[in-house]
Amino acid sequence: MPVVRGKRIEVLYSASTIAARNLELAKEIAARDYRDLLVISVLKGSFIFSADLVRAMHDAGMEPDVEFIMLSTYGAGTEAGEVKILRDVDSDVSDRDILLVDDILESGRTLTFARDLMLERGARSVGVAVLLDKSMRRQADTPLQPDFVGFECPDHFVVGYGMDVGHAFRELPFVGIVAGDA
Ligand code: IMP
Ligand code: MG
């Protein structure tokens, strides 16, 4: 088991497993009838997934624009989730096909907020791609169905591949669970 910061990390999805899945996701996305697609990476957690997914989309023959929004959800995954825009997109999204890309879909609050924001701004369509789906955690008032899912995630707190605990572990090339002290 890898040891990082003195903790044993149980690998859930290896770098090669994720890379293979990203290629499949990119082909699924390319098979849709998207026109003038704008990918919006939801920072911070999605920075590695987005970087890999847009390159896989290139390999799948796509030419998306890429943008960023930084959101913070206070109490993500809990009932008290209030979403704030820390940094907005620069682009006009009206009449465009949008693909929101995030690391994990849990309660659905963060991505429901982002999707509704883009629809209010006149987006033609808003798709959602997530690396991990904790579907068992979805809240009744935000029952978002993702369009593209890398993996159905077990109900554990995961780190790596962009995902953090207090800004630690984002650099790991795999997704894992902190299993305890080494
Ligand atoms: P939601 O709004 O409840 O769907 O929360 C999704 C957000 O919570 C994700 O974008 C992550 O930033 C964060 N999150 C949820 N579960 C985890 C986890 O297991 N590890 C790290 N971040 C998580
Ligand atoms: Mg996030």
CA of 87 relative to ligand 1 center, distance in Å: 18
Asked if 168 and 5 touch (Cβ cutoff 8 Å), the reply is yes
Q: Which residues line ligand 1 (CB under 6 A)?
A: 45, 73, 76-77, 81, 102-110, 157-158, 163
Cβ within 8 Å of residue 30, ≥6 positions away: 57, 60, 61, 62
Q: What CATH architecture does domain 18-153 belong to? A: 3-Layer(aba) Sandwich (3.40)
pLDDT at 146 (0 to 100): 97
Q: What is the DSSP string of 66-82?
A: EEEEEEEEETTTSTT-E
Nearest ligand 1 atom to alpha carbon 156? 19
What is the rounded distance in angstroms from the CA atom of residue 155 to the CA atom of residue 100?
Answer: 23
Joined together, the tokens standing for residue 81 give 């989730």
Q: Which range (69-73, 158-162, 173-177) has the least confidence?
A: 69-73
**141: confidence class by pLDDT, cuts 50, 70, 90:** confident
pLDDT over 70 at 102, yes or no: yes
pLDDT score at 55: 98
In Å, what is the CA distance from 123 to each residue of 90, 94, 115, 160, 165? 14, 4, 9, 32, 33
pTM for this one?
0.96
Nearest ligand, measured from the Cα of 142: 1
Q: Are 152 and 135 in contact (CB under 8 A)?
A: yes
Ligand 1 atom closest to Cα of 165? Answer: 21
Beta bridge partners of 99: 39, 127
pLDDT at 80 over 90: no
**pLDDT tier at 75 (50, 70, 90 boundaries)?**
low
Looking at the predicted structure, is the pLDDT value of residue 81 above 80? Answer: no
Query: Above 70 in pLDDT, residue 52?
Result: yes
| CA 106 to ligand 2 center in whole angstroms | 10
CA 74 to each of CA 21, 24, 83, 111, 155: distance values in angstroms, whole numbers, following the listed order: 30, 32, 6, 13, 19
Mutating to test ligand 1, I would choose from 47, 72, 82, 104 the residue with most ligand atoms within 8 A of its C-beta, which is 104
CB atoms within 10 A of CB 140: 7
Q: Where are the domains of the chain?
A: 18-153
Mean pLDDT over 62-75 rounds to 92
CA 60 – CA 24 distance, rounded (Å): 9
Confidence check: pLDDT of 76 > 60 = no
The per-residue pLDDT for range 7-27, each reduced to its tens digit, is: 999 999 999 999 999 999 999
Residue 77 confidence class, pLDDT cut points 50, 70, 90: low
